[in-house]
Amino acid sequence: MPSPVPPLTPTIEIPRTYRVKSFGCQMNVYDGERMAELLAEQGIAAAPEGEEADLVVLNTCHIRERAAEKVFSDIGRLKRQDGSTPLIAVAGCVAQAEGDEIMKRSPAVKMVVGPQAYHRLPEMIRVAAEGKRITDTDMPAETKFDALPPRGQGGRRSGPTAFLTVQEGCDKFCTYCVVPYTRGAEVSRPHADLIDEAKRLVDAGAREITLLGQNVNAWYGKDAKGRKVGLAGLIRELAEIPDLARIRYTTSHPNDMTEALIVAHGEVAKLMPFLHLPVQAGNDRVLKAMNRSHTAESYLKILDRVRAVRPDIALSGDFIVGFPGETDAEFEDTLRLVDAVGYAQCFSFKYSPRAGTPAATMDDQVAPAVMDERLQRLQAAVNRDQYAFNKATVGRTCEVLVERKGKLPGQWLGKSPWLQSVHFVGEAAVGDVVTVELTEAGANSLSARLLSTVPA
């Protein structure tokens, strides 16, 4: 019997199953979902829970410490017992910034794809299936969004909460940050596309949409009548979608906090009373060295204006401790700002030098032990405020969007308007907006008593 003719390049087969692992920010979560939809459209199925996938996409984050090292250890962990590996694609911001290095150091990686190029994954998979390795970190002028399958295609359902990227990239060039280099310049997606995507998400089951962007409040576009609109206009229009119950947005920059957006917080009932507005530090010399183009005072004034129109607004921020040259006294200004604001929640980080950013080569890098101590003090302050915020809401009646079942029988988990995690026991279903009374506060969540179910 003649031996079968070997296929031309039998190196790798087209994968049948995929898994996308997203790290870092919510925009990566959104990108991960869009990649999953794209792969599903190609006939590649999501690998069942607990089973190995033929194709693994590591959707990476480059914002803070040891990002590349983490990717290499994740790649190492994908090795199977027989020594083989799935088809590995590294996507996201580490791919963009360190793709060449990854290709050099990690032969198991067959594809490196940047955040603006992932719509080309299907072509890349075909190339990889021929046994070639391929990198695509272009930042093409045309948008990837045009090339992606529409949301909800093929009857895909959405969870009760969904992300919608409206804006990407950053022109602000804070001196510590890699985003302007990895995600590119600020680009706003067209108004009509966003309204369409939001409606599709709602049709697919979403009750809450969080509008995403690195500088989401820098979004602008033209409405159906050709009028220029900003984020506030977009929010007002989205609020008209009948089955959409809640709108949120993140992340904002203080300089793009327009009067129109502030006013919307007082007027649009579906816009939730929560504002994530990073300040990074409370000292003006440090803010200047960070190239933040706002001062502690101008930041606090914005918060005053928002509170004037929406007194119950929950505030959230990002902080970096130990920026190069930050003295003890300058750090104390950050603690003072935290005290002045009374945040509902915060994210705080130790400064970590990112290659290629101006701060990485600044003099007076702060010693790790000093950063540790500052981070601990800052986190103690923000934890205290978060608990105080939660306690202050006890006794209030509010709506909760039910997101999933809890661990206890009959228990449900969801979010309050102020983005607090709330659990209660009673008759409800995922996607319901129910009315509860908040009864007990913990540092990270609250218990509630179910009062009524608002029909969805």
Q: Which pair of structure tokens corresponds to residue 215?
A: 């500088």
Of 32-40, 67-75, 350-358, 400-408, which segment contacts ligand 5AD by CB under 6 A?
A: 350-358
Contacted entry of ligand SF4, ligand 5AD, none for residue 94, CB cut-off 5 to 8 Å set by kind? none
Contacted entry of ligand SF4, ligand 5AD, none for residue 253, CB cut-off 5 to 8 Å set by kind? ligand SF4
Nearer to ligand SF4, 232 or 359 (CB): 359
From residue 259, alpha-carbon distances to 7, 202, 206, 219 in Å are 64, 28, 29, 14
State yes or no: residue 180 binds ligand 5AD (CB under 6 A): no
Ramachandran class of 130: left when φ > 0, alpha when ψ lies in -120 to 50, beta otherwise? alpha
Q: Which pair of structure tokens corresponds to residue 273?
A: 């009373």
State yes or no: residue 124 binds ligand SF4 (CB under 6 A): no
Of positions 36, 78, 174, 398, contacts ligand SF4 by CB under 6 A = 174
Helix (H, G, I), strand (E, B) or coil at 418: coil
State yes or no: residue 173 binds ligand SF4 (CB under 6 A): yes
Of 51-59, 153-161, 344-352, 436-444, which segment contacts ligand 5AD by CB under 6 A?
A: 344-352
State yes or no: residue 170 binds ligand SF4 (CB under 6 A): yes
Q: Tell me how far apart the alpha carbons of residues 236 and 372 are, in angstroms, rounded to a whole number.
A: 43
Non-local (6+) Cβ contacts of 342 within 8 A are 315, 385, 388, 389
Q: Tell me how far apart the alpha carbons of residues 88 and 102 are, in angstroms, rounded to a whole number.
A: 11
Of positions 26, 40, 42, 64, contacts ligand 5AD by CB under 6 A = 64
Of positions 18, 30, 163, 176, contacts ligand 5AD by CB under 6 A = 176
Contacted entry of ligand SF4, ligand 5AD, none for residue 214, CB cut-off 5 to 8 Å set by kind? ligand SF4
Non-local (6+) Cβ contacts of 272 within 8 A are 246, 247, 248, 417, 418, 419
Ramachandran class of 145: left when φ > 0, alpha when ψ lies in -120 to 50, beta otherwise? alpha
Helix (H, G, I), strand (E, B) or coil at 180: helix
State yes or no: residue 331 binds ligand 5AD (CB under 6 A): no
Q: How far is the CB of 351 from ligand 5AD (least distance, A)?
A: 5
State yes or no: residue 349 binds ligand 5AD (CB under 6 A): yes
Residues forming beta bridges with residue 92, ordered by sequence position: 60
Contacted entry of ligand 5AD, ligand SF4, none for residue 349, CB cut-off 5 to 8 Å set by kind? ligand 5AD
Q: Which pair of structure tokens corresponds to residue 86?
A: 């799935």
State yes or no: residue 315 binds ligand 5AD (CB under 6 A): no
Q: Is 398 annotated as a binding residue?
A: no
State yes or no: residue 179 binds ligand SF4 (CB under 6 A): yes
Among 81, 69, 59, 72, which residue's Cα sits nearest to residue 107?
Answer: 72
**Peptide linkage before 439 cis (omega within 30 of 0):** no
Q: Is 346 annotated as a binding residue?
A: no
State yes or no: residue 180 binds ligand SF4 (CB under 6 A): yes
Of 46-54, 226-234, 291-299, 345-353, which segment contacts ligand 5AD by CB under 6 A?
A: 345-353
> Residue 258 burial by CB count (10 A; 0-12/13-18/19+): exposed, middle or buried?
middle
- The number of beta carbons lying within 10 Å of the beta carbon of residue 186 is 19
State yes or no: residue 353 binds ligand SF4 (CB under 6 A): no
Residues near ligand 5AD (CB under 6 A) are 63-64, 176-177, 278, 280, 318, 320, 349, 351-352, 354
| Residues of this chain that bind ligand SF4 (CB under 6 A) | 170, 172-174, 177, 179-180, 214-215, 253
